[in-house]
Amino acid sequence: MHIDLNRNGSKSLPHQISETLSQRISSGLLQQGVRLPSVRSLATTLRVSQLTVSKAYDVLEKRGLIYCRQGKGCFVADPKHTKRQEDGRWQDVYDDYLPRAQLWRNFDYSEVKYPFHIAAIHSELLPLKNIGDSFASLVTQQPELMATYGNFQGDLELRGIMRDHLKTRGITLTSSDVMITSGTQQGIDLVARTFVGPGDTVYLEAPSYTGAIDVFAGRGAEMIFVPTDSEGMRVDILTRMCDQRPPKLIYTIPTFQNPSGVTMSIARRQRLLELARSYRCLIVEDDPFSDLYFHAPPPPTIKSMDSEGHVVYMKSFSKVIAPGCRIACVAAGGNILSRLIAAKSASDLGSPLLTQRAVLPFIAGKYETYAAQLRVTLRTRMEKATKLLKLYAPPGVKYILPEGGLNLWLELPASPDIARLHELAEQMSISFLPGDVCYSAETSSRHIRLCYSQMNETDMEEGLRLFLRLLGRFLQVSG
Amino acid sequence: MHIDLNRNGSKSLPHQISETLSQRISSGLLQQGVRLPSVRSLATTLRVSQLTVSKAYDVLEKRGLIYCRQGKGCFVADPKHTKRQEDGRWQDVYDDYLPRAQLWRNFDYSEVKYPFHIAAIHSELLPLKNIGDSFASLVTQQPELMATYGNFQGDLELRGIMRDHLKTRGITLTSSDVMITSGTQQGIDLVARTFVGPGDTVYLEAPSYTGAIDVFAGRGAEMIFVPTDSEGMRVDILTRMCDQRPPKLIYTIPTFQNPSGVTMSIARRQRLLELARSYRCLIVEDDPFSDLYFHAPPPPTIKSMDSEGHVVYMKSFSKVIAPGCRIACVAAGGNILSRLIAAKSASDLGSPLLTQRAVLPFIAGKYETYAAQLRVTLRTRMEKATKLLKLYAPPGVKYILPEGGLNLWLELPASPDIARLHELAEQMSISFLPGDVCYSAETSSRHIRLCYSQMNETDMEEGLRLFLRLLGRFLQVSG
């Protein structure tokens, strides 16, 4: 079993070991009944003392996550306390390098009637007819697009369109500074695999996007979560933290942040960029939502202020027009991008060319008009959702009215058993995103994220009413 | 600068450092004029002595890859010996974890008239009309496919079709043992990121697939290349090697191997599986070509003999029917697959659903008839290519008539300057794959790979004639 240990970090080694194992157990990577390595063998593998491993196992046993049997070893406990067969299959002890995979556990509930957990736009609002027509005409007129691997960096024409689009947002670059990825998730992953390694310090907002946290954890990074307030990431606190641990990379979603909805002020954007300059590090600016504002346009992107190539800017186009098409844009300068292209080639030889060409005409021609209309629709829907919140939210539940984006971020009173609430909601065919997956594993959050745009209006209103009533009953009982 | 060092390996530390830097320079990751870290600072970073770094720099300077200036430091040399501006930009010294990226440098020559370097099937032979019709009808009838992320593991129905298909090839499993990836390249990458880490031993055939070598190098693996003969990988030699260094993973292309074309005998397949059992390790069986045999069907897959889940089997469907669609199947049992699914989710949230559904009807209904016809066409084309080889290949050039697959693997006499040959060919709009990218960096190969199926017949014959004449002149001059 492989565990990345940071021997210079602030956390003790037993703590690092127990936290990693606890994450693997909670995400199901270590399944019930699996035998953990013996204290002696894990100590040898990790080059730590047996006492260190022993301490870590003690913590896990006290938390009920594992049970130990004299002479037999320690096993992952069954939370329902039923006996499980001791399964000695070789696969269970075959090492992996996946410390965390929360996204995988918290995303895929396609069966649920009220899917509040996925931040997406319902298909009836998307320009699918238009993009579908584009697919249909391409397969007739240029069938060879289905046969070609294309350029690893992405189709040159689409990169040109994206360059022009970014220019209207104040970001000036050439199409050689643009790469096309299969969604922003892949963009984040490529940055991490290229530039982040074991022990490297990555700063993120607390809370942040689960998919990014998973990726950085997978690289063995030391993730540090920076507090946020109504102006976004507390860059003043970050600056002090950087004195202690210089950043390798800063990951931020400055506009209508996921999950919290907060937008970073211009002043902080500028200071963040200054900080990256002085530490000669990268900022990943993940920007899924800046076109989805309800009132005023958000402040300029950090990338638009960046003259020395410190910002890797990511914008998902498919998220706004056709999420299943998985087309995002990564913009970066100089040899930062060329290294990311090398990583992209090893990942998948490039994104499908047909799909790139299929979304191209819409982005080139109709995107702005569509986005303007979409903003109106989403604002109306958000207002309906927040009206229901005002009517039915149980006392003590807090939220901020979002200025854009797709999510509502609720803070529950006290520290409720959110896993239990999740179970109860699922029984009613309702899903939500538990806030703790938006933090590192140590934090137990009392937040939940609800997306109000992933269903049609009737289902959303019905589902939200049902959920808020459930929440009321739940808080009464547990309070 | 980050360099993975294997302190228990057979190669000296200076050698490991100089090889890594040399790969970065040759692949363009370290560009001309870039200043290398000082001896002192690299020694500190890598926790080695300054003498070790100094030795590595000496080797690089003697090979003309870098030049050192007293008091200023060492810089990546310009091969053309012109002076370059000393560029002190911060990006050039920003660390990455990309030790090798040969694929990226040797793949993308879309401009070339005679592209012999890509192992693919020309679009006129592919069932693009059929798959295009499928796209066109889906975007009308199920437009929501463009809106949905789908299941990370892949569409359930397509997984069922793939399960049924594999059953006809003697591989019995359930659709929950199947995952859909964006091409086999992604499958290899997911296995590597999940199960291979710094210093882990990975065995491969010598030569092997460039894209796989890049991926394992990117994980910091200790790659060991096993000699092959006419029956494929020398499993007897591998067995002795494993005594010295137990395998974490064995990567093999047993059928019409890429690039050599050799097929592993049944006896060796069985012994290889035995070996994996005794070492409790994984075999990655990459199978792009088994349906493309010219005479008799190849021996059964290793996966079909695997009862204990040691084999991760990969079959690219898109390669045979529509390469640009990027749809491959990864089959593995138990919690090996569940961990790969977790990795897939972090990589890209799943492959596009529309494309998965678009290739589904063809794989379900027409694949076998199509493959039978394709085999006849490819055999005819291969015979035309080998006839030209017999007529025009310069004396001393060796090759084996392939029994299947898409490649010809040529061995040139003596040790020619293949980089120079590559340049000359490019001037004639001809590309080929230099053999050295199919080995680890130390080997200088006298092989080249030519794909005979990537152009129409006329272009292929014309291009091959031109190339063989060029080769004749080249060998005469350099001999």
| Residue B158: predicted pLDDT | 97
Report yes or no: B178 and B154 within 8 Å, Cβ to Cβ. yes
Per-residue pLDDT tens for A55-77?
888 888 877 888 877 667 788 88
Q: H or E stretch including B355?
A: helix B353-365
CA distances from residue A298 to A284, A287, A289, B291 in whole angstroms, order as listed: 18, 11, 10, 55
| B120–chain A Cβ distance below 8 A for any pair | yes
Across the interface, whether the CB atoms of A98 and B342 are under 8 A apart is answered yes
Q: Which CATH superfamily is domain A105-125+369-478 in?
A: Aspartate Aminotransferase, domain 1 (3.90.1150.10)
Residue A473 has pLDDT above 90, yes or no: yes
| A118–chain B Cβ distance below 8 A for any pair | yes
Residue A109 has pLDDT above 80, yes or no: no
| B451–chain A Cβ distance below 8 A for any pair | no
Across the interface, whether the CB atoms of A146 and B140 are under 8 A apart is answered no
Section A298-313 average pLDDT: 96
Distance CA B388, CA B393 (A): 8
Strands A407-411 and A398-399: what pairing?
Answer: antiparallel
Section A282-301 average pLDDT: 97
| Residue B171: predicted pLDDT | 97
| Residue of A148, A151, A211 with shortest CB distance to B346 | A211
Q: Using CA coordinates, name the residue in chain B closest to A276.
A: B90
Where do the structural domains in chain A lie, given as residue ranges? 13-97, 105-125+369-478, 128-365
User: Shortest CA distance to A191 belongs to which of A349, A332, A319, A306?
Assistant: A332
Residues 15-54 of B with CB under 8 A from A: 27-29, 31
In this structure, which CATH number among 3.40.50.150, 2.60.120.460, 3.90.1150.10, 3.40.47.10 belongs to the domain B105-125+372-478? Answer: 3.90.1150.10
Helix ranges (DSSP H) in B38-110: 39-46, 50-62, 102-105
Q: Percent of chain A, pLDDT > 90? A: 63
Q: How far apart are the first and last CA of chain A?
A: 41
Three-class SS of A156-210: HHHHHHHHHHHHHCCCCCCHHHEEEECHHHHHHHHHHHHHCCCCCEEEEECCCCH
Residue A100 has pLDDT above 70, yes or no: no
Q: Using CA coordinates, name the residue in chain B closest to A156.
A: B110
Nearest chain B CA: its distance from A207 CA (Å): 18
Average pLDDT per run of 10 along chain B, which is 479 residues long? 77 85 80 84 83 84 80 76 43 76 58 90 96 97 91 94 96 94 95 92 95 91 93 95 93 97 97 94 97 96 95 95 94 89 88 95 97 97 96 93 95 84 92 88 80 95 97 86
Task: Name every chain B residue with its beta carbon within 8 A of the beta carbon of A97.
Answer: 193-197
| Residue B80: predicted pLDDT | 53
- Distance from the Cα of residue B226 to its chain's centroid: 16
Per-residue pLDDT tens for A339-372?
899 899 888 888 999 999 999 999 999 999 999 9
| Residue of A132, A151, A211 with shortest CB distance to B110 | A151
How many beta carbons lie within 10 A of that of residue B75, not counting itself? 19
| B338–chain A Cβ distance below 8 A for any pair | yes
Residues 257-276 of A with CB under 8 A from B: none
Across the interface, whether the CB atoms of B341 and A104 are under 8 A apart is answered yes
| Residue A87: predicted pLDDT | 34
Distance CA A450, CA A232 (A): 20
Q: Using CA coordinates, name the residue in chain B closest to A327.
A: B352
Across the interface, whether the CB atoms of A123 and B136 are under 8 A apart is answered no
Per-residue pLDDT tens for A124-170?
999 999 999 999 999 999 999 999 888 889 999 999 999 999 999 99
Q: Domain A128-365: which topology?
A: Aspartate Aminotransferase; domain 2 (3.40.640)
| B420–chain A Cβ distance below 8 A for any pair | no
Residue A81 has pLDDT above 80, yes or no: no
Distance CA A396, CA A379 (A): 25
Q: Across all residues in chain A, what is the average pLDDT?
A: 89
Across the interface, whether the CB atoms of B90 and A148 are under 8 A apart is answered no
| Residue of A101, A110, A151 with shortest CB distance to B346 | A101
Higher pLDDT residue, B167 or A21? B167
Q: Domain A13-97: which topology?
A: Arc Repressor Mutant, subunit A (1.10.10)
Task: Name every chain B residue with its beta carbon within 8 A of the beta carbon of A189.
Answer: 346-348
Across the interface, whether the CB atoms of A195 and B349 are under 8 A apart is answered no
**A23-27, A267-271, A378-382, B129-133: lowest mean pLDDT where?**
A23-27
Q: Using CA coordinates, name the residue in chain B closest to A281.
A: B94
| Residue A79: predicted pLDDT | 61
| B88–chain A Cβ distance below 8 A for any pair | no
